């Protein structure tokens, strides 16, 4: 059964009986590049970014793409050329930003476990800001900065203890989460940071979670952050910017998140009402920029009827697309070519070849498919390829960027030789 309308990118549609992304037939791409194959729409990414840009019109805002959602160089280049900064969580991500043409001064470095080596590399690159997440990290960053004769610009991530009403694995703003400084400790921690010669306090940061579909948690978090801004500045510590993070959800299965421009209209009205409308803002969208811009293509290998379950075994697996195995996440699954009107529809679990019972892409799906048919797993642009692995020594799939009628291979399929490069036999 085909969902109507298709969740995901507005650029995804059937033309006749063939599924297209922008002006390119996905079936043709699967024939040329094989499967599993990730395909991304440049127009969809820029349209999602455009909603943020409209929401921030005439405001002093830096949009930093949270690249953990998808760190492929071809994707990063799209956002770099559109003027985005980047939210990173490792030195490896910093190197990818620079390789894609990103501006180091527009990079903010988040994450709870930055190493000294990563701090030194980020300081040498001249990043815009470190989002520090613990009192221990503050002291280490001060030590590292002084050792290299520099000053680290810092923003302290505060934990507002706001429930984002999302999956517990991607909730980050509650007091039991590992992220950020407790709201009650924030002023004291800011005083300490401001006293250290290797640090320059430049802002405050808050991020409450991911796949948020309700505006209420954002409004609650903003109130708590602005209360802290007032208290911190009353203590004599000026804040140059306020970073409200990201986390806006997308439509996976009829989800109804607010659009970015509608959400920020509400948030900016609150900001204005509280007297902070002229403050420089940073935001860190990730999933909402790329999630519905991508699909994962896979080929049906076998039909396997069972007493209680029917299985559709495909060549994509949990190593290619981990979200269902990790979060029991839902992704719509549709055929690349519509079946004949009289083709029998069967309820199946769509599963991969990995030797784990958790290797499934979709449960209880109504599909009319045979071996050799191809399927598209939708809304696969975020937290899919970036979390892919080589489990079972499976090579990661290729990636293609679609731009109108043109398509560009942006990652070659990984070979066994690629996987073993760097390994050595002991004797």
User: Where do the structural domains in the chain lie, given as residue ranges?
Assistant: 12-41+291-420, 110-285
Q: For residues 173 and 162, is the Cβ–Cβ distance under 8 A?
A: yes
Q: Is 206 a catalytic residue?
A: no
Report cis status (omega within 30 of 0) of the bond before 5. yes
Whether domain 12-41+291-420 has CATH 3.10.310.10: the reply is no
Task: With a cut of 70, list the residues of the chain below it in pLDDT.
Answer: 1, 3-5, 8-9, 162-179
- pLDDT of 4 reads 61
As a whole number of Å, the end-to-end CA separation of the chain is 56
The per-residue pLDDT for range 366-414, each reduced to its tens digit, is 999 999 999 999 999 999 999 999 999 999 999 999 999 999 999 999 9
Percentage with pLDDT > 90 across the chain? 83
For the record, the structure tokens of 384 come out as: 């899919």
Q: Are 239 and 227 in contact (CB under 8 A)?
A: no
pLDDT for the residue numbered 171? 42
Phi, psi of 120 (to 5 degrees): -60, -45
Phi, psi (deg, nearest 5) at residue 99: -65, -30
| Res 170: pLDDT | 39
| Catalytic residue (one of 64, 129, 296, 355) | 355
Question: What pLDDT, on the 0 to 100 scale, is given for residue 133?
Answer: 92
CATH T-level assignment (fold) for domain 110-285 = TIM Barrel (3.20.20)
Distance CA 309, CA 370 (A): 16
In the prediction, which pLDDT does 253 show?
Answer: 86
pTM assigned to the model:
0.93
Helix (H, G, I), strand (E, B) or coil at 351: strand
3-state class percentages of the chain: helix first, strand second, coil last, to nearest 5: 35, 25, 40
pLDDT at 56: 95
What pLDDT, on a 0 to 100 scale, did the predictor assign at position 177? 53
């Amino acid at each position: 059964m085909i969902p109507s309308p298709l969740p995901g990118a507005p650029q995804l549609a059937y033309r006749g009986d063939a599924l297209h992304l922008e002006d390119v037939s996905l079936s043709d791409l699967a024939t040329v590049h094989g499967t599993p194959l990730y395909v991304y729409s440049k127009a969809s990414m820029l349209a999602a970014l455009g909603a943020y840009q409209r929401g921030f019109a005439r405001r002093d805002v830096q949009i930093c793409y949270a690249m953990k959602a998808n760190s492929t160089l071809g994707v990063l280049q799209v956002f770099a050329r559109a003027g985005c900064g980047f939210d990173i969580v490792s030195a490896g991500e910093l190197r990818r930003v620079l390789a894609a043409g990103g501006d180091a001064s527009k990079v903010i470095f988040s994450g709870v476990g930055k190493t000294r080596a990563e701090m030194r590399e980020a300081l040498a690159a001249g990043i815009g800001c470190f989002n520090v997440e613990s009192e221990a990290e503050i002291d280490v960053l001060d030590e590292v900065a002084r050792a290299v004769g520099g000053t680290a610009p810092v923003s302290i991530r505060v934990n507002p203890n706001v429930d984002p009403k999302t999956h517990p694995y991607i909730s980050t703003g509650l007091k039991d989460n590992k992220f950020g400084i407790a709201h009650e400790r924030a002023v004291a921690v800011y005083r300490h940071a401001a006293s250290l010669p290797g640090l320059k306090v430049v802002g405050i940061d808050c991020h409450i979670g991911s796949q948020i579909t309700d505006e209420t948690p954002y409004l609650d978090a903003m109130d708590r952050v602005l209360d802290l801004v007032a208290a911190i500045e009353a203590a004599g510590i000026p804040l140059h910017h306020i970073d409200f993070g990201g986390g806006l959800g997308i439509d996976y299965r009829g989800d109804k998140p607010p659009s970015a421009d509608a959400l920020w209209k509400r948030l900016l009205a609150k900001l204005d009402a509280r007297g902070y409308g002229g403050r420089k803002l940073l935001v860190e969208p990730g999933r909402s920029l790329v999630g519905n811009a991508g699909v994962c293509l896979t080929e049906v290998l076998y039909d396997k009827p069972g007493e209680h379950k029917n299985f559709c075994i495909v060549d994509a697996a949990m190593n290619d697309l981990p979200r269902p195995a990790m979060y029991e996440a839902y992704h719509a699954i549709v055929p690349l070519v519509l079946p004949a009107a009289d083709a029998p529809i069967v309820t199946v679990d769509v599963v991969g070849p990995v030797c784990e019972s958790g290797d499934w892409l979709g449960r209880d799906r109504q599909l009319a498919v045979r071996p050799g048919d191809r399927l598209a797993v939708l809304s696969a642009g975020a937290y899919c390829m970036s979390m892919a692995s080589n489990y079972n020594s499976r090579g990661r799939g290729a990636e293609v960027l679609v731009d109108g009628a043109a398509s560009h291979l942006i990652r070659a399929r990984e070979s066994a030789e690629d996987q073993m490069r760097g390994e050595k036999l002991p004797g």
